Structure 1
């Protein structure tokens, strides 16, 4: 994703890929214009939140008309750099990592896993779901060779920080962290952590307490 200006709230930034995905659906269905209410209905996000998100980027729509679907799609495609493919690496080919390799992200957008690392693989590598998988001893060499700056981390929690330290040494810019470990990284490196167990516990809490999840 291209760098979002500091004025854009983080919550808004996180919703941008969702807007792009749903707008693609409207465009594929031949819809020419859409209102915030229609987006709200399909996305389950409050219409006022959508209007507020869009307002950060200027006049994207017209009062009484709504939003031009193709214009919005073009805007978010440029904002998210959807015309430029991004190669990423996967570190850890266990249950979750194997699922990522089978799915891969190119099916839905312009991001694709092109290489992976796992202790069970040899230095010579092996092929899993058409992706080469190498031993972690080869990580620095291969990532630098391929110019990869974004990594998906699905390793055991006890080796997550050490792996992050190694990635920082070769100046990898971003980690999508699926481990429960809270990583310490340099200020210039960005880490997005998705703790599946914590998210599940939060869902259970809301269900048991009948608390409606707020739209974030």
Structure 2
């Protein structure tokens, strides 16, 4: 159970990294790890790790470290929640298709990409990695039918803006936005923006200034 205090966004951003680390450690048969080992694996300083974990109470013991199995369970609940979350994907072009072919369940076993949408008649009715592609005209009815809470947008920027207001009204609470545009949603919707051009520029910048 989270403490009733505000957790910094930077800490929230690192939770999936911690979860992935503990999950992989468990799969490798590791029983416990130290903050130093986490630090070396994730390139996050130990003080930051201890500060991040302090927001959630006593997760480890001095001289013992962190119990891997217990932390997998804890971060699974914090990152993924307790139930299966249905996700929709809108736009099955090159990027959308690549995401559908990615094995999300390897890391996020409570995330289910239930259905994809497109406007291309040649694609509608097909399946990609077991996910059916449905005509965009059925967007509202399907979101409500499967109680989808999360949408992945891999459409042209302006299309994403036009769709974002609608999908909020249909019940979407979180959006993974691959368009470069600011979406037309209220503060009630959590949006995580992934602009590949910006990420590439950031990579080049860090490469240039690393040494």
Q: TM-score, normalized by length of structure 2?
A: 0.90
Equivalenced residue count is: 210
CA deviation vs aligned residue, 1:112-136 (integer Å, no higher than 9, x gap)? 2110011104797332222111121
Preserved CA contact (<8 Å) 1:121 1:133:
no
Superposed counterparts of 1:36-47, under 5 Å: 36-47=35-46
Q: Indicate yes or no: 2:179 matched with 1:179.
A: yes
- TM-aligned CA deviation for residue 71 of structure 1: 2.1
Q: Who is 1:134 aligned against?
A: 134
State the Cα deviation string for residues 92-146 of structure 1 (Å, max 9, x = none): 0011100011114123322121100111047973322221111211111111111
Counterpart in the other structure of 1:155: 155
Moved >3 Å (runs of 4+)? 2-6, 121-124
Q: Distance in 1 between matches of 2:123 and 2:101?
A: 22
**CA, structure 1 residues 81+5, in 2 after alignment: closer, same or farther (shift >3 Å)?**
farther
Q: For 1:86-97, list aligned pairs within 5 A.
A: 86-97=85-96
Question: How far apart, in 2, do the equivalents of 1:156 and 1:21 lie?
Answer: 31
How far apart are the structure 1 equivalents of 2:73 and 2:107?
Answer: 17
Could you give the per-residue CA deviations for residues 42-93 of structure 1, whole angstroms, max 9, x where no partner exists?
1111111111111111111112221122222222122234552211000000
Give the SS at the match of 2:107: coil
Q: Show structure 2 runs of 5+ residues with no match.
A: none
TM-score normalized by structure 1? Answer: 0.88
Q: 1:4 to 1:88 in 2, by over 3 A?
A: farther
Q: Distance in 2 between matches of 1:28 and 1:123?
A: 37
**Paired residue for 1:108?**
107
Structure 1 portions without partners, runs of 5+:
none
